[in-house]
Structure 1
Amino acid sequence: MQMVAVRYESRQGACPRNLRLRRAAMRYVLTHHFDPDFEQRRLRPKNREDGSVDQFDLGYVQNVAAGQLLAEWTPLAPGENAPDEAIVSENTAFPHGEGCKVDPDNPLRLLAAVNGHVARIDGRITVRETLAIGRDIDFHTGNIVALGDVIIGGDVRSGFTVMGRHVTVTGLVLAARVRAMGNVTCNGGIQGGGKATLRAGRSLRARFCENAVLHAAQNILIDGSAMHCRLFAGEKLAVKGRLAGGEAYCGEAVYVGEQLGGGGQSQTRILLGYDPERIHKDQHIKAGLRQALLDVEACRVDIGRGGEAAKECSALLAQGEQRVEAFRRQLKRLWESPAATRRFSSCRVIVPGRIGANVEISIGEAHSVIPEDTRDAVVRYQDGEIVVEHPALRK
């Protein structure tokens, strides 16, 4: 801002020509509300409150939500010195790139325009909706938690977590956790080792999956085979290759292109017609109920023996009985909603290929063990029973 000569006039006439007021140039300092010098190559494990170190949490990204304050210009008083290395200017235009906007109510404030991660790139404040990581998720990156989309260029290693709006993994997902508000895509497949859990707020797609738990509010699509998994699909499940071992819970329909079941001595169970997430919660509550009943029975045995242990177990018995009743109330509330079940008559299991041994299919309360070597069949519900018809797909 330049020196300004101000000329005053009045109703009586102009001021004398030599009467001028000079105003000093106003200076502003730029304050960042994130770490502008953040570098991922300088990541360090986070300290826990108990003094230990979390090797999985390195703080890989600086997340911001739309509308969040990123930076602001603060005026300096005349004669005031700015902090060392601060950005000082007479011009209040923000050095910003994509994903940012000037606050319409205050031009001295810069806000995030989208959900994403913020950084200073080439001197400009930038918010990007997509976080692209061109390597494995391991101890070099730590867990990834992002508000925007996430693209992983390598594998997600065992023990690590990736969370984002939509998540795409180019490599394998091992014994890890992946969660997305939208879609999850696993181009390399899933080798869960019995410990992988993937959850999609919309749909989930994988090249193949083994020994993993998959949840999708809408659809699950497996391009190859699904072996010994627990699959929860809110609407439809499609496996182009083989579905063998484990359990599948689906709201509407299951399609298996090549073979259903036949995985040695292991059983393949399919349940349709119920909300899969309610089934999952039901299993969790029943597991807690079983443990509570065992604890109550153990307390009763100790009380029956008498002695000092009996006195201690009296209080534990009361607590255990309260837990049992709490679990039973949870089960009752879980299935009271009318949305707990679907229309059984619209449910289908479609297998254009072969059905192998040890396949059990339930639709609602109806249950059936499908004969081995059944081919080109559709399994559906009719008048309270399971029926098998041919062909699987009608032209």
Structure 2
Amino acid sequence: MSEHELPLNHYVDIAVDDDKLTATLRFSNVDGWRGTFSRSQLEELLQLNRIVHGLLEDKIAQIVKDPQSFFNQKTVIAKGQPPVHGADGYIKTMFDLDDLEKRPLELEDGKVDYKEVTTIHNVRKGQLIAERVPAEQGTEGKAVTGEVLFAKDGKEARFKLGKNVVTDPEQLALYAAMDGMVTKTDRDKLNVFPVFEVNGDVDYHVGNIDFVGTVVIRGSVIPGFRIKAAGDIRITGNVDGADLEAGGSIEINAGILGHHKAVIRAGQRVKCSFIQDATIEVGEEVLVNQSIMHSNIRAGKEITCKGTKGLIVGGQLQAGERVTARTIGNTMSTVTAIEVGVLPELRNELQQLKQSLKTVADNLNKTEKALVLLDQMAAAGQLSPEKVGMRIKLNHTKKQAQEEISSYKSRIFEIEKSLEDSERARVEVIGMVYSGTKIVIGRNTKFIKDAATRVKFQLHDGDIAMSPL
């Protein structure tokens, strides 16, 4: 560089990206400039800009040798090393306990062969059920300025222990503590339940069943009887006016005749051929092949009725995400209500929470006013022993009320968010939907006045829209 020329930083701009992983060089003020500079001069400029790591030596040498060829462009001269975040740990089960996508095999005559989907995961005492794959540590990176770029370690997974299972001392493996069947229940707990079998009908010879494991009935359940199982319930025949409650799933080869008395509850799902005049409440899904008639059904995720008949008529069906059917309603315009998005109990819970929040907030306000007076008396040295005890008690009450208010507000926020988030909720009709059908999605309602074929209903621009399936 000649002595009449300005310093190199007048002609060269060094920039570092926000993530500090890339440094670039750009020439400026170079009109008419034909000067040269040395490698040491450029290195001095890099030092001045604290570019010390990941230098692209070949590129720098080219710039020093022929700067004019790099005019009017940005040139990368250094690259840092990005941090690598560690992968999260996870639980690897030895059995497929989440086969929610499996559906009954539909035969040519329209019947359903449940043998193709019902699987009992039998285990022996001491058999491996699941393994815990540890999380990986992150690998630090390095910025072009030499700074350490910290990486996040993966989150460790934890076994969710249910009944009759044990872990090794290192918490890396889960084993069966007894012979039985592996079942996943609420909150993804892994359990081993023994299986209770009845080789025939549940009648007066058997009586009501209240069992800690899975119940298998190789027959039907006659009116007036009750089965309660912590695991699953499998029935080869009908459920006729009986009550069932399962922590896991309920599978019925035939169907449910409710007679307006039967109540069926399951933590995960109910699968059967038909449902008539019954009340069904499930945590996840209801899968029906033939028909759902004049029944009240609540499902946390979805209700599906799309076999050869696939008919839903009468009653009220509520699902957290989706209802799918071949036919909804009939030519007689029988009132049929289909609701998706948010279950009514959440709306009821929201109202109760808001009322409870108001009550606790009012009580907190009174407590704080009383404490102000007691604090003033304490400052004046006028607190009697009795008032000291009252002051301690009120401070405890204040702290408890603040915790309750925080809890109420958190739950209210969750529910209000779910009320607003109904984008995924939809109703799908493979065949025909008739007048008399009421579609409710989130806070919106649509009454079907004219029959339509192969349509779906979902929210669009704040209203329920009907579109071709």
1:266 aligns to 2:331 (yes or no): no
| 1:168 match | 234
| Of 172, 177, 194, the match for 1:129 | 194
Tell me by how many angstroms 1:148 deviates. 1.3
1:142 to 182, 187, 207: 207
Query: Any runs of at least 4 consecutive aligned residues in structure 1 with deviations exceeding 4 A, and if so which?
Result: 279-283, 332-335
Q: Describe the SS at the equivalent of 1:223.
A: strand
What residue number does 1:201 align with?
A: 267
Contact 2:334 2:437 in 1 (8 A): no
1:339 is matched with which residue: 407, 410, 415?
A: 415
Deviation at 1:113, TM superposition (A): 2.7
Summarize the alignment of residues 1-395 of structure 1 with structure 2, pairs less than 5 Å apart. Answer: 113=178, 129-164=194-229, 165-240=231-306, 241-257=310-326, 259-262=327-330, 264=332, 266-275=334-343, 277-278=345-346, 336=412, 338-339=414-415, 341=418, 343-390=421-468, 392=469
CA RMSD, 1 decimal: 3.3
Q: Which has the larger radius of gyration?
A: 2
SS at match of 1:156: coil
Q: Distance in 2 between matches of 1:337 and 1:143?
A: 42
Q: Secondary structure at the match of 2:279?
A: strand
Are the structure 2 counterparts of residues 274 and 186 from structure 1 closer, same or farther at C-alpha, using a change threshold of 3 Å? same
Contact 2:329 2:434 in 1 (8 A): yes
What amino acid does structure 2 have at the position aligned with 1:353? Answer: G
Deviations 1:30-72 (CA, angstroms, capped at 9, x unpaired): xxxxxxxxxxxxxxxxxxxxxxxxxxxxxxxxxxxx9xxxxxx
Gaps of 5+ in 1: 1-65, 67-98, 102-110, 117-126, 286-331
Partner deviation per Cα, 1:350-381 (whole Å, 9 max, x = no partner): 00100112000011111111233211101111
Instruction: Note the C-alpha offset of 1:114.
Output: 5.7
Quote the offset at 1:265 in angstroms. Answer: 5.1
> Following TM superposition, by how much is the alpha carbon of 1:336 offset from its aligned partner in structure 2, in angstroms?
2.9
The total of aligned residue pairs comes to 229
SS of match in other structure, 1:278: helix
State the alpha-carbon separation in 2 of the partners of residues 274 and 159 from structure 1. Answer: 32
Query: Which piece of structure 1 moves more, 146-155 or 260-269?
Result: 260-269
Amino acid across the alignment from 1:352:
I
Residues in 1 aligned to 2:203 and 2:210: alpha-carbon distance in whole angstroms? 14
Partner secondary structure for residue 254 of structure 2: coil
Q: 1:282 to 1:100 in 2, by over 3 A?
A: closer
Against the structure 1 CA distance between its residues 232 and 279, is the aligned structure 2 distance closer, same or farther, given a 3 Å change threshold?
Answer: farther
Question: What is the alpha-carbon distance in structure 1 between the residues aligned to residue 344 and residue 195 of structure 2?
Answer: 30
Match for 2:241: what amino acid?
Answer: A
Cα displacement (A) at 1:236? 1.0
Shift of 1:145: 1.2
Change (3 A) 1:279 1:246: farther
2:220/2:236 contact within 8 Å kept: yes
Separation in 2, partners of 1:218, 1:198: 13
CA gap of 1:220–1:357, structure 2 versus 1, over 3 A, is same
1:232/1:334 CA distance change after superposition, 3 Å: farther
Aligned mates of 1:282, 1:172 — CA distance in 2: 38
Distance in 1 (alpha carbons) for counterparts of 2:424 and 2:272:
26
In the alignment, structure 2 segments of 5+ residues that lack a partner are: 1-124, 126-163, 167-175, 182-191, 353-407
SS of the equivalent of 1:339 reads helix
Are the equivalent residues in 1 in contact too, given 2:435–2:449 (CA < 8 A)?
yes
- Name the structure 2 match of 1:73: none
Question: Counterpart of 2:262 in 1: which secondary structure?
Answer: strand
1:152 Cα offset (Å): 0.6
Over the matched positions of the two proteins, sequence identity in percent amounts to: 28
Change (3 A) 1:223 1:100: closer
Quote the Cα distance in structure 2 between the aligned partners of 1:334 and 1:193.
41
- Superposed CA deviations along residues 80-117 of structure 1, whole A, max 9, x for unmatched, are xxxxxxxxxxxxxxxxxxx999xxxxxxxxx973679x
Secondary structure of 1:194's counterpart equals: coil
Higher percent of residues as strand:
1
| Distance apart, 1:134 and its partner CA | 1.1
Larger fraction in helix:
2
Question: Is contact 1:251–1:276 with CA below 8 Å preserved after alignment?
Answer: no
Quote the Cα distance in structure 2 between the aligned partners of 1:266 and 1:203: 27
Using the TM superposition, give the Cα deviation of residue 346 of structure 1 relative to its aligned residue in structure 2, in angstroms: 1.3
TM-fit CA distance, 1:339: 3.5
Counterpart residue identity of residue 211, structure 1: D
Q: Give the conservation status (yes or no) of the 8 Å contact 2:305–2:312.
A: yes
Evaluate the alpha carbon distance shift between residue 112 and residue 389 of structure 1 in structure 2; reply closer, same or farther with a 3 A threshold: closer
Rounded to whole Å, the distance in 1 between the matches of 2:228 and 2:331 is 33
Distance in 2 (CA, whole Å) between partners of 1:153 and 1:279 is 40
CA distance in 1, matches of 2:318, 2:201: 31
